[in-house]
Structure 1
Amino acid sequence: MPRPRYEDAEPVQFGDDIEIYDRFGRLDKGIIQSFHPNKGPVWMLSLVGCNHERLVRFDPETCVIKHPAPEVLGADGLPIVEGDVVYELGRDDALTVYEVNPQYIHAKKESGAAWNNLTAKYLTHTPPDTQERIDADADKYYGYYWGCTGVECERCPAMIDGKKPYERLGARSCESARILDLLRRQRELDARKGGAE
C-alpha cells in the first residue's frame, strides 16, 4: 500500500513535521510518529505535538498534507503570523496581518484599506515611538526603563546579543545608557516627523 503523500506527491516520512487539512479546511498538525493503514486508501497517522500523541484520519480523497510554511520573521526578530498587529518601520499606521507567505505580507489598516506585498524585514510588532512615550520614559528610573528592577545584572532582561545596555551603547552605566537611548529615540522620532518641532 503506498505511503501517504504531500500535495506535491512527495512521500511523507517518519519524523516529518506536517499539516493536514480536511475537506472543510480545518488544520491538524504535528510530527509523524507512525502510519496505520485503515480501510481502502485511508490512513491513521500518529502525530506528536504539544506534549501528547494523537491519531489523525487521513483520506487522500478529501484531505491534503502540506509542509508547514517557513517561519517569517519581522524586523524585531519575532515571527509574523495571521492576526498580528504590525507597524511598517518609519510609519505610524497599525496594520492587521491577514496573509503571510515567505515573499510578502498582506495586511489591512484599521480603516479596512489593504496594504499588500509588504516585506517582513520592514515590519515590527512594536508601535512607533511618540513624543508622549519618550517624555514619560525620560522621567523613569533606569531600572524601570530597562525592566531590570529587582533582577540580578547577570540575568539582565534588556540584554541583546549577550550585551547589557551600557555595553551595547558604549556608556559607563545603565543610567547613562538610558539617556543615550532616549536621545536616539528622539532623533529617530524627529526624523520620522520631518525634524524637531
Structure 2
Amino acid sequence: MDEAIKHCTKGIGIWEWASNDDCGKAPDEPDVIMASCGDVATKEALAATAILREEFPDLKVRFINVVDLFKLQPAEEHPHGLSSREFDTLFTVDKPIIFNFHGYPWLIHKLTYCHTNHHNLHVRGYKEKGNINTPLELAMNNQIDRFNLVLDVIDRVPKLGSAAAYVQQRMKNAIIEHRAYAYENGIDKPEITDWKWTF
C-alpha cells in the first residue's frame, strides 16, 4: 500500500518489480519501454512484459505506469508536467516506447509531442472496434492485448531480428486460439482471466 501511495502521488513512475533494466550495480539502458495507463491496458502490458521476459531473457524492458496523464505534458505547459530532462530520463531519448492506453491514442501523442523521443512513441489504444466481446477479444480488436504488444516490440527492437520468428508465430497462433475459444465459449480462457504476475 505504501508503494501504491507513493506511485499515485508521483503520478508516473517506473515499476521496478516489473522491469529488468536495473541489474543492481549500474542500470543498463533499456531496449524498450513498455508504458501503460488504465487498468485493462496495464494488465495486458504487464502480461506482455512477462511474455517478453520469458521468451527473451536478455531483452531489457523498463515498465512505466502513468496515473496522471498531465505528467506527460512539458512542465511549461502544465503544473503537473515533467521537465524535458525528467521525461528523457524516464523514457530515454532514443528507445522504442510501446504505450498501452485505455483511451484514444491521439491523446497521448498530443500530450507528448514536444518531448525528445516522441518519434519513437507508439501508442496502442481504443480504435472503436468491438461490440459484445469478451475482455480479451475487445483488447485484441483494438490491439492492446498482450500478444499484439509482444508483436509490436518484436517489430520495433532491432536486436531481436529473425531470432524472434518463432515467438512471433506463437503470438499470432495465440491470437487465433483465444479468439476461437471466446467465440465457442463466450468467455476468455482461465489463463487470461486468472493471470498473475510471475516474476
Choose between structure 1 and 2: higher helix proportion: 2
The reply to whether TM is greater than 0.5 is no
Structure with the bigger RCO (C-alpha within 8 Å, sep 6+) is 2
Band of TM-score, shorter chain = under 0.3
TM-score scaled by length of structure 2: 0.21
TM-score scaled by length of structure 1: 0.21
Choose between structure 1 and 2: higher strand proportion: 1
